Structure 1
């Protein structure tokens, strides 16, 4: 298949790199030092599942250079969704499948409003990783799941083909028959994890072992769940316990990527995490006192970072 990776950072570089190593024509769309490094020396993946070196990776900052693709892995930051959606138009053919993979629950709809909803399949990544240095992706755990599926829950050949290709490349695709449940399940936990680790500038371990902060973390997760239950009435109540079980198993020094963004002076995604919890709570009449405080406390630093990057 011909695959474009819009946003070839930690996630896009990992999945795209694995597919390229398996023989697919994969184009990495990136920018800055990361792009320059890939052009000069290729892409390197460091992973407990096995390292990979791609000396001749296809990389560009111009989607028009790529042309129409069978699949686009759309892995930009939430704040770049609209700009990136307009940029990938030259990569979209009549049957192009676009898999979104952003934190939060709104990106797939925002993308579909620009490129056409029929192209878009929502996705959820459960894959920890980072750009260790330009041109080097560090995958930090055995977990490498990409969950995706049609919005209506029906099976499709396009999802099956992508899943088969990803599985053959050594990663773990899961085609979901209820992707809305998957999106909300991650969002319920991620909104609390991102806000709390970023606001406290601490890893999950100390927050989890302190009974006061652990209780706040759990209650923030439950609060987001109740908003989700208003938006998706059949969202299982087990989502709360499953998220907390996931949190308890995370490495002690794990934190949300939003904390990395804060430490690096990059824009934050708080609007699409606690911010969306608050706004959707208002929409559905669900109180969100915890996320309202988390969002309000993050906003001044987020606004300052946004102003600095403008």
Structure 2
């Protein structure tokens, strides 16, 4: 039986890891704090619009030393924690272990592949609105959950089919992408577009789309990201900005992005990996990114303050 290890048991890791464990597969959850204690005592509870369930995984621990070698590792931390997570899991790898980072952002697979053997890393993303409701409890409150993944060289390999078997047995929608880079950048464009402006305006996705001025800022943000993607030779279609705007229009009116919520609540966020990444790559590639630069510059002082407070705890 495949052994799946989940690094980070928040909204994403808790839901998908919980589903895999609930299907009778061998799953180890690596978590910490009161959340871990609750899982160890009472199991992992998932409240879902697709049906609630509770599961006791094979193991839940904070210590990597207690984790057996893994066949599949899902890294479900925040994007700024990816490098640390990749270093942490080195002892869990055997020669055929597959590592799948599932963060929002465009360069997570590259970060993991800079630390672990590139041949063992695949790319992926997920579509879900979920969060930790309280210790030991995951709330899935929006989107039909979907996981999209694929080989970085775009091949359909036997091992990618094995990963699909794990997800199929778990019973959630999953798709092998023919070009995972395009899929990752498409989601990144959506999430980076709504997150920064949402944090800046304190408005919901519906409110931003409804307002003429902020809707145009959303469009310009996405257009800048598109230009950076093209410069990086990612084969995103030339209709992608319109697709993203349509996707934004279809979101629940009161929806907000997790990064937006983090910034508003004074927590460290993925700002650097979203708008900050586009600003940095834009400068490197000679592409102007005025809206992303404005958004990033306005939010950066709050981000620095949140990180200083977090580091001092």
- Identify the TM-score tier after normalising by the shorter chain: over 0.9
TM-superposed deviation, 1:227 = 1.0
TM-score of the two chains, using structure 2 as the length reference: 0.96
DSSP-derived class of the 1:154 partner:
coil
Find the counterpart in structure 2 of residue 272 from structure 1. Answer: 273
Paired residues of 1:67 and 1:92 also in contact (CA < 8 A): no
Aligned-partner Cα distance in 2 for 1:94–1:70: 9
DSSP-derived class of the 1:104 partner:
coil
Paired residues of 2:27 and 2:57 also in contact (CA < 8 A): no
Find the counterpart in structure 2 of residue 126 from structure 1. Answer: 127
Aligned-partner Cα distance in 2 for 1:169–1:215: 40
Aligned-partner Cα distance in 1 for 2:143–2:264: 26
Aligned-partner Cα distance in 1 for 2:280–2:57: 45
Please list, as runs of the form range in 1=range in 2, the aligned pairs for 1:71-90 lying within 5 A after superposition.
71-90=72-91
Paired residues of 1:145 and 1:172 also in contact (CA < 8 A): yes
Find the counterpart in structure 1 of residue 158 from structure 2. Answer: 157
Aligned-partner Cα distance in 1 for 2:182–2:264: 32
TM-superposed deviation, 1:294 = 0.5
Assess, with a 3 A threshold, how the Cα gap between structure 1 residues 57 and 25 changes in structure 2: closer, same or farther.
closer
Unaligned runs of 5+ in 2: none
Find the counterpart in structure 1 of residue 241 from structure 2. Answer: 240
Aligned-partner Cα distance in 2 for 1:194–1:243: 13
Find the counterpart in structure 1 of residue 19 from structure 2. Answer: 18
TM-superposed deviation, 1:115 = 1.5
Paired residues of 1:203 and 1:252 also in contact (CA < 8 A): yes
TM-superposed deviation, 1:262 = 2.4
Find the counterpart in structure 1 of residue 211 from structure 2. Answer: 210
TM-score of the two chains, using structure 1 as the length reference: 0.97
Q: What do you get for the CA RMSD once the two structures are aligned?
A: 1.3
TM-superposed deviation, 1:260 = 2.3
* Deviation digits for residues 135-176 of structure 1 (CA, Å, limit 9, x no counterpart): 111111242111110011000112111112212222111111
Please list, as runs of the form range in 1=range in 2, the aligned pairs for 1:213-228 lying within 5 A after superposition.
213-228=214-229
Unaligned runs of 5+ in 1: none
